[in-house]
Structure 1
Amino acid sequence: MAMTLRLTEDQDRALTLLARTQGCSKQEATTRAIVAAASRLLDDAYIAELARNVVTEYAGVEKRIRQAR
Structure 2
Amino acid sequence: LEAYGASHALQEMLTIKSDDVEGRSALYEALIRGKNPPRPKPPASFSVLVKELQGLGLELLPERGEVVE
Question: Shorter-chain TM-score: which interval?
Answer: under 0.3
Question: Of the two, which has the highest radius of gyration?
Answer: 1
TM-score (norm 1): 0.25
TM-score (norm 2): 0.25
| Greater RCO (CA < 8 Å, at least 6 residues apart) | 2
